[in-house]
Structure 1
Amino acid sequence: MFDYLIVGAGFAGSVLAERLASEGNKKILIIDKREHIAGNAYDYYNNDGILIHKYGPHIFHTNSKEVFEYLGQFTPWRPYEHKVLGSVDGQLVPIPINLNTINQLYGLNLNSSEVEDFFASRAEKVAGVKTSEDVVVSKVGRELYEKFFRGYTRKMWDLDPSELDASVTARVPTRTNRDDRYFTDTYQAMPLHGYTQMFQKMLSHPNIKVMLNTDYKEIIDFIPYHNLIFTGPVDEYFNYCYGKLPYRSLEFKFETIDQEVFQPTGTVNYPNDQLYTRITDFKYLTGQKHPKTAVVYEFPKAEGDPYYPVPRPENAELYKKYQQLASSMTNTYFVGRLATYKYYNMDQVVAQALTTFKKIMQGQPETYINGQNILQS
């Protein structure tokens, strides 16, 4: 008899497995339908011996000391600040848009206060910012919106930014200084030996059993357990009874290049002409020493593994129906990006899992979603 059956061996499931096993002394079975642990953060050495991320680049950053120190129990960290360039008007310019971006793009020599005036002079008044287009146009105007955001967003989502929730482009700031780091979080680092090795250490507790290549539907009636933690798609759990929650997926094209590095920084975005959205050169991320490098091209698509919940009001309404169903379950916890239909960064999923663990240990009522006791929320 297992105390917990955990479906999904990504961040949400693995953190809860580790905490419940080591702190709660619970017996855990964690399963995954893929052939590996670590979820979308899975990395491995390709045939040329280069460490690559199978599901696209995963760059760790957080403002949470608790999350950083918790994961630090299972890996040494390598400091890494991610930088992104955008291919715009035949040039590679810093993203997010900052002082250097504007000066380079327009051949100017503005300072911080002058670039603030530059943005203000181009910004359009928007009554009630509702869409992704509104966010950008109200901050920096239509020309920069067209150059940097519209094409990229249309490729990424197969929707115009005017059809998407404001949260999509609100994730990308605009800066008036020369800070060209993609993230500004307090802690920015990569697991020194890769994500997979970090997960292996996390799941190495004697109370944890791991089963891979296993669909939970095949075993759920045969394995005795007290509580279920589900980190897969919430609509799948309920057999899509209200219909499918829409996601965007990605297709990845990997290449090994016979040179030390392929491009001047970790990631280059292509907002406009190409079919792919970005190219990532893995050796910047991993710090690996190797005479060759490996890159990945990302092509957004409608079908495939679910990566990005599509942030539109009708999808939020559909999710609420599933959330209501989940609230009627007992001894069942829905945790993580797919189970709560929300785009979380890795550190946010870890924080959510740690919060859920604390609530379980406090003996609070048995049904949670998104780390909250939904029977009382």
Structure 2
Amino acid sequence: MFDYLIVGAGYAGSVLAERITNELGLKVLVVDKRHHIGGNAYDTYNEHGILIHPYGPHIFHTNSREIFEYLSRFTLWRPYEHRVLASVDGQLLPIPINLDTVNKLYNLNLTSEELESWFAARAEKKERILTSEDVVVSKVGRELYEKFFRGYTRKQWDLDPSQLDATVTARVPVRTNRDDRYFTDKYQAMPLYGYTRMFENMLHHPNIKVMLGTDYREIVNLVPWRRMIYTGPIDAFYNFKYGKLPYRSLEFAHETLPQGWFQPVGTVNYPNEQPYTRITEFKHLTGQRHEFTSIVYEYPRAEGDPYYPIPASEPKAIYKKYEEEAKRETKVRFVGRLATYQYYNMDQIVGQALATFEKIKLELADESADPLRALPQ
């Protein structure tokens, strides 16, 4: 008898498996359809011995000391601040847009104070910020929006920014200084030996059993369990009874090149004519030294593995129906990006899992105080 059946061995499932076993001493079965742990954060050495991220770049960053210290139990860190350039008008320019972006693009020599006025003169005032287009044009005007944001967003989502929730482009700030870091979080680092090693350490416990290459439906009625934590797509859990939730997917084209370096920073965005959205070179992220280098092109797709919940009103309305079903479950908790149809960063999923564990502790404490509550209804 397992105390918990956990569906999915990514961040949400692995954190909860570790907490439930190490702090509560309970028995956990973790099941994943893929043949590896770590979810999309899984990394591995390719045939040339270069550490790559098969599902695209994963860069860890957080402002939460609690989350960083928790993960530090399972990994040492390599300090790393991610930098991104955008290929615009034949130049590689810093993104998020900053002082150097504007000065190089227009051959100007503005100061930070002058740039604020420069933006203000071009910004389109909006009474209400409703869409992703509104977010950008209200800050920097339409020309920079067209050069840096519109094409990239249309490729990524197959929707115009005017059709997308404001949260999409709000994730990318605009700066008036020369800070060219993609993130400004207090903690920015990469697991020293890779994400997979970190997950292995997290799941290394005699009370954790991991089954890979297995759909949980194959074993859910064969293996005895008391409670379930589900981190997969919530619509699949309910057999798509209210319809399929839409996602954007990605196709990854990996290449290894017989040269030391391919590009000057970890990621270069291509917001305009190219069919791909970005190219990432992994050695920047990992710090690995190798005579060859590995890169990955990302091509947005409508079909494939679910990566990005679509931030629009119709999908949200569908999700709400599934959410109401989930609230009525007494033995199943839904955690993670796919189970809650939210575009979470890695640290946010860890935070959600840790918060869920605190709720589980309270629930079990209540049951200990009143044993009748734990009996099947």
What band does the TM-score fall into relative to the shorter chain?
Answer: over 0.9
Q: How does 1:124-273 map to 2 (within 5 A)?
A: 124-273=124-273
Encode CA deviations 1:303-350: one digit per residue, 9 max, x unaligned: 000000000011111100000000111021000000000000000000
Aligned-pair CA distance for 1:132? 0.4
Does residue 73 (structure 1) correspond to residue 42 (structure 2)? The answer is no
Residue of structure 1 in register with 2:301 after alignment: 301
Q: How does 1:1-377 map to 2 (within 5 A)?
A: 1-363=1-363
Report the number of matched residues: 366
Please tell me the residue identity of whatever aligns with 1:210.
Answer: V
Encode CA deviations 1:188-246: one digit per residue, 9 max, x unaligned: 00000000000000000111000000001111011100000000000000000000000
Distance 1:161 1:364, change over 3 A: farther
> Scaled by the length of structure 1, what TM-score is found?
0.96
> Scaled by the length of structure 2, what TM-score is found?
0.96
Identity of matched residues, %: 70
Shift >6 Å, 4+ stretches: none
Distance 1:211 1:347 in 2: 25
Encode CA deviations 1:37-70: one digit per residue, 9 max, x unaligned: 0000000000000000010000000000011011
Distance 2:286 2:247 in 1: 29
Aligned-pair CA distance for 1:104? 0.5
Aligned-pair CA distance for 1:364? 6.9
Aligned-pair CA distance for 1:127? 2.2
Distance 1:85 1:159 in 2: 23
Q: SS where residue 348 of structure 1 aligns?
A: helix
Q: SS where residue 133 of structure 2 aligns?
A: helix
Distance 1:317 1:132 in 2: 19
Distance 1:331 1:158 in 2: 38
Q: SS where residue 23 of structure 1 aligns?
A: helix
Distance 1:274 1:363 in 2: 52
Distance 1:175 1:97 in 2: 6
Please tell me the residue identity of whatever aligns with 2:29.
Answer: L
Distance 1:241 1:118, change over 3 A: same
Aligned-pair CA distance for 1:292? 0.6
Q: SS where residue 363 of structure 2 aligns?
A: coil
- Structure 1 stretches of 5 or more lacking a match? 367-377
- Structure 2 stretches of 5 or more lacking a match? 367-377
Q: SS where residue 70 of structure 1 aligns?
A: helix
Distance 1:365 1:20 in 2: 13
Distance 2:242 2:4 in 1: 28
Encode CA deviations 1:119-174: one digit per residue, 9 max, x unaligned: 00000011211010010011100000000000000000000000100000000000
Aligned-pair CA distance for 1:365? 10
